[in-house]
Amino acid sequence: MTGEVLAQTRDTERERQAGLRERIACCSVAGCLSAGGGEVRAALEKAVNARGLDGQVEVIGTGCLGLCSQGPLVSSAATRQVYAGVTPEDSAALLDGGAGRFQGRTLGPDHPFYAGQRRLILENSGRVDPERIQDYIAQGGYRALLRAASAMSPAEIVAEVKRSGLRGRGGAGYPAGLKWELVARHPASDRYVVCNADEGDPGAFMNRSVLEGDPHRVLEGMAIAGRAVGARQGYIYARGESPLAIARIRTAIAQAQREGLLGGRIFDSDFQFQIDLRIGAGAYVCGEETALLASIEGRRGQPVPRPPYPPERGLWGCPTLINNVETFANIPAIVERGGAWLAAIGAPASPGTKVFALAGRVARAGLVEVPVGTSLRTIVMDIGGGVPAGCEFKAAQTGGPAGGCIPAAFLDLPMDYDTLPGIGSMMGSGGLIVMDTSTCMVDVARFFMEFCMDESCGKCVPCRAGTVQMHGILRRLTRGEAAASDMSMLEELSRLLKETSLCGLGLAAPNPVLSTLRHFRNEYEAHLAGRCPAGRCSIPVPEPV
């Protein structure tokens, strides 16, 4: 493909879409499909056909529209509204204009759920069918790659990413530009780009939704990275548990290859880049970068000690750039609009937006995208609509098994990479679970410890055996069988794992315990005394003497 063909494809598709009377986008990612979105789409397509509206009204699938708890969601290009809780029976009203039918389940751009958001990564939701490359091109897709391949030097791309201040969205927030530079400067001849799509935190589905909803954005980001660091081969490592994301990536890669946007001589330049998909097989630890590389190489997903870090020695010993899905999804906009543009959004030290998967005891659960540094209160109370009536907010859990709980006292703190660690939590990849007073914090700590115990690879002793012992103590606590000495051992083990584990999984495994100990120690003490304040743990009542 050439620049002219890209512009032509874009214009043709735009004209085609402008000629439509209506374009109805049905949310087609995991959440809404679980709620029956597939049936809604089928009914709509049938109704369009029955009315002879083919060519005038188009029904497409699209990326996450956000409000997953009220799915299936459908958005209308004509009315610019999103409709919630749509059933196949609503088809007629959607086509014939029976807006009254959607009283109370219509969400306009000014609805509190959308008003507080700033959608960059998710900007194409509702506009792009993830299975059509033309849709992505019509929204300006692959223009950034054109620019990167034909008008920018690799060093200029790296400089632009550095200027944006973008920090890796995988959890730790390492500056993306620095990582790119390390790989780009390495003298080795073979280099690789790897997209970490092994999002395994329980309660996190941001990356999966991006891949399911806008896969070309990630491919484009990876190709630009390939150009910037001098790699010819990229890999996407996706979770085996996300069949839909896998299917969408496969389709997108095939389309991009067919259009010449991946492969040799991209945009008639000397730049060539291939992307292959590698599918994980159910191991959370493979989100750790050295374990992920081992898995791509067909081995047990066991981490190896760093240094050397992957930018120095990664896949097959070659310098390797690893970023996650959301990080790559930021790249096209940075190249297209400039690093300074992104740097102006969000917090000064953590620019850009962050996608959160908001779930738990919250009125409106789903996928939300806000500038980094937005307060927890805005996300939970304004966008999420607060906890349901009759419940009381107790804490929000971020960062999954590696993160911690944020109690009500910190609702106004900005959510960014530097603030959260200060209160014993972390951004993580974006899972955000709201908990109310019916949630037992000791049980939450036990839940995450069980997760880490099950997912420990077994290589290093502190993590393999330490998570087992810590889980045992937490289980005894939730059963009212713990002794005071268990508490000191729990803290001793926490220190051990935090300081001696081989990889991030073990190093972070004590975080949920430490953060609940810090903010909710009284609940631990109550359990020691044989009482669960939330009433969740079934502690046997002592026999009367």
- Identify residues 354-383 at the interface with another protein (CB under 8 A): 357, 359-361, 365-366
- What x/- string results for residues 89 through 118 when contact with another protein is judged by CB under 8 A? ------------------------------
Q: How far is the CB of 492 from another protein (least distance, A)?
A: 7
Smallest distance from another protein to CB 110, Å: 22
Q: Which is nearer to another protein, 66 or 177 (CB)?
A: 66
The three state secondary structure string of 343-360 is HCCEECCEECEEEEEEEE
- Cα 439 to its chain centre, rounded Å, is 25
Smallest separation, CB 282 to another protein (Å): 3
According to CB under 8 A, which one of 196, 255, 295, 516 is a site residue for another protein?
295
**CB-based contacts of 387-391 (< 8 A; 24+ apart in sequence):** 387/361, 387/362, 387/363, 387/434, 387/436, 388/361, 388/362, 388/363, 391/361, 391/436, 391/437, 391/438
Identified binder of another protein from the candidate list 55, 108, 264, 305, rule CB under 8 A: 305
The helix/strand/coil state of 327 is: helix
Minimum Å gap between C-beta 459 and another protein is 5
Helix (H) or strand (E) holding 215: helix 215-229
Q: Is 489 in the site for another protein (CB under 8 A)?
A: yes
Exposed, middle or buried: residue 144 (CB in 10 Å: 0-12, 13-18, 19+)? buried
Based on CB atoms, which residue is closest to another protein, 57 or 474? 474
Task: Considering the complex, state which of residue 58 and residue 326 has its C-beta at the smaller distance from another protein.
Answer: 326
Residue with smaller CB distance to another protein, 231 or 357: 357
| Cβ-Cβ contacts under 8 Å for 128 (sequence gap 6 or more) | 62, 63, 135, 136, 138, 139, 213, 214
Q: Which is nearer to another protein, 258 or 299 (CB)?
A: 299
Amino acid at position 468, single letter? V
Using CB atoms within 10 Å of the CB of residue 317, give its burial: 0 to 12 exposed, 13 to 18 middle, 19+ buried: exposed
CB of 189: closest distance to another protein in angstroms?
19
Binding mask 234-273 for another protein (x = CB under 8 A): ------xxxx------------------------------
Residues 404-423 that bind another protein (CB under 8 A): none
Which of 166, 183, 449, 496 touches another protein (CB under 8 A)?
496
Sheet with 106-107, strands from edge to edge, namely 57-62, 22-27, 74-76, 82-83, 106-107
3-state secondary structure of 83: strand
User: Taking contact as CB under 8 A, which single stretch among the options 220-228, 345-353, 432-440, 525-533 is the one that binds another protein?
Assistant: 432-440
Q: Which of 453, 487, 532, 537 binds another protein (CB under 8 A)?
A: 453
One residue of 101, 232, 250, 464 binding another protein per CB under 8 A: 464
- Whether 119 and 125 have beta carbons less than 8 Å apart is answered as yes
C-alpha torsion sign, points 84, 90, 91, 95 = negative
Using the rule CB under 8 A, is 203 a contact of another protein? yes
Q: Which of residues 308-347 bind another protein (CB under 8 A)?
A: none
- Number of CB atoms found within 10 A of residue 189's CB: 9
Minimum separation from the CB atom of position 341 to another protein (A)? 30
Considering only residues 156, 447, 479, 528, which one is a binding residue for another protein as defined by CB under 8 A?
447
Nearer to another protein, 347 or 497 (CB): 497
CA pair distance 174, 167, nearest whole angstrom: 5
Among 6, 29, 59, 368, binds another protein (CB under 8 A): 29
CB 500 within 8 A of CB 386: no
Chain centroid to CA 436: 24
Distance, CA of 123 to CA of 375 (rounded, Å): 21
Smallest gap, in angstroms, from Cβ of residue 2 to another protein? 31
Q: Judged by CB under 8 A, does residue 195 bind another protein?
A: no
326 versus 336: smaller Cβ distance to another protein: 326
- Footprint of another protein on 39-68 (CB under 8 A): 67-68
Tokens of 529: 């005394």
